Amino acid sequence: MNPDPRRWWALVVLAAAQFMVIMDTSIIAVALPDMQRDLGFTPGGLQWVFNAYAVALGGLLLLGGRLSDLWGARRVFAAGWTTLIVGSVVAAAATGAGTEVVGRAVQGVGAALIAPAAMTLLMVLFAGQPNELPKAMAFYGAAAPAGGTAGVFLGGVITEWLSWPWVFVIYLPIGLLTLALTPKLLPAVPGRRGGLDVGGAVAVTGGLALAVYAVVQAPERGWTSTATLVQLGAALVLLAAFVLLQRVAGNPLMPLRVWRAPDLAAANVAMALLGAAWIPMWYFLNLYVQQVLGFDSFASGAALLPMTALMTVLMTTVTGRLIGRFGTKPLIVSGLAVLAVGLGLLAAADPGGSFLADVLPGSLISAVGMALVFIPATLSAIGGVAPEEGGLASGIVNTTYQIGSALGLAAMTAVATSRGADRLGDAVALTDGYSAAFAGAAVVALVAAVLAAVTLRGRVAERVPAEV
């Protein structure tokens, strides 16, 4: 099979898509306080700027992968970018909190189409090239932490010298350029016959969104209020219906047999809890830096840059070698424990503190923990499945991470609000609330470390090469 002569240029387009999808979760960080002021978000409602994106992305990733199979990866990739552009326009033009949340949700739908289609296109481009595929995967994989790093810094620069809507406007020229290059560089992958599990997609997305919404509203309504219990109950019913539909559907989104693979379930639990600890840390650390320490937008972006830069460097240069030497399980367990330590240091933040004493040490240690866990947990999740189910396993682990992130942020926001995080302008109360969220996230990370130590088998690890 002759290699596609355009494959390396095509890889740049695919890696740029991965870069932008991940950047979309981090570029908003520094802009959050300005968005809260201009759009009228409540302290509890502000998290939906992140959660609307995460729930749509996580809930629809499996459907996006299925559509990629049925309609053709290039066509779905282009549809995803078109959707992301539309969502960006809505988010940038929003004049109220509700419109902003809708725009972010539409962006998440676009990302859910882009991500699985991009992976399919990458595998097609480098099929039959065993010497080039690892390099292509490494380049594509490095785009994710690079996007997270760039998002934090660019968000600060854009918010400081332009205004927060421009963190969404930036997607318009990039998206249009990508759409122009798609037919020129990316292969036309034909679709295949099969049914679409619409019922399963509706059930899983509705169940996850309802669960997050119930947790977000619980502090105001009460955890035992009728509304909270009814919503949580309805979410469980929808998720149970999703599982039942996967048993009887002719073309299920998630064939249940995949869960027989070694370590798939345990690694997904680790990934969900990793998201539930990491995203609240990232979210509340930014608020602490701006609303307590008084950093402006640019300084806030710069303050988070050492953490994201260290994580990027470790994930792209060190983690693969450690996997080859020690295997995945020791890294997952130790990484989650290190993350818990970093979060514990952040929980000791002082209302009259400083960046060097109260932010830098804890954030850098947390970054080390994240870098040790993310790639090994992903490899553990997909390493035991059959090759033809690798895309499905990858979609599942991405879904669990996104949903764990959304639920974790909702829960820690409830904890922070109950301890004073809604009292804007009161540095002591805000610090108490944020510290409570950091402490809660540390407990989540510690529980995840214990569960990983008990449940992971670690057999896949020894088959993973060092050149990840």
Q: Where are the domains of the chain?
A: 1-184, 198-252, 258-468
**Integer angstrom CA distances of residue 467 from 88, 99, 137, 139, 175:** 36, 44, 10, 12, 32
Round the average pLDDT of the chain to a whole number and report it: 82
The string of pLDDT tens digits covering residues 362-377 is 999 999 998 898 888 8
What angle do the packed helices 97-125 and 73-93 form, to 10 degrees? 160
Helix boundaries (H) for 249-296: 264-291
How many residues in total does the chain contain? 468
Helix boundaries (H) for 126-197: 133-161, 166-169, 171-185
Residue 355 half-sphere exposure, CB side, CA atoms within 13 Å?
A: 16
Instruction: Indicate the range of 19-28, 257-266, 342-351 predicted with least confidence.
Output: 19-28
What are the helix and strand counts (H, E) for the chain?
A: 17, 0
Segment (H or E) for 50: helix 48-71
Instruction: Indicate the range of 10-19, 21-30, 46-55, 318-327 predicted with least confidence.
Output: 21-30
Q: 258-468 belongs to which homologous superfamily?
A: MFS general substrate transporter like domains (1.20.1250.20)
Whether the domain at 1-184 and the domain at 258-468 fall into the same CATH topology: yes
1-184 classified as CATH 1.20.1250.20: yes
What CA–CA distance (Å, rounded) separates 351 from 349? 7
* Burial of residue 142 (number of CB atoms within 10 Å: 0-12, 13-18, 19+): middle
Instruction: Give me the pLDDT at residue 20, please.
Output: 80
Instruction: Give me the pLDDT at residue 345, please.
Output: 95
pLDDT at 399 over 90: no
| The one-letter amino acid at 15 | A
The string of pLDDT tens digits covering residues 206-231 is 887 788 778 777 777 777 899 889 99
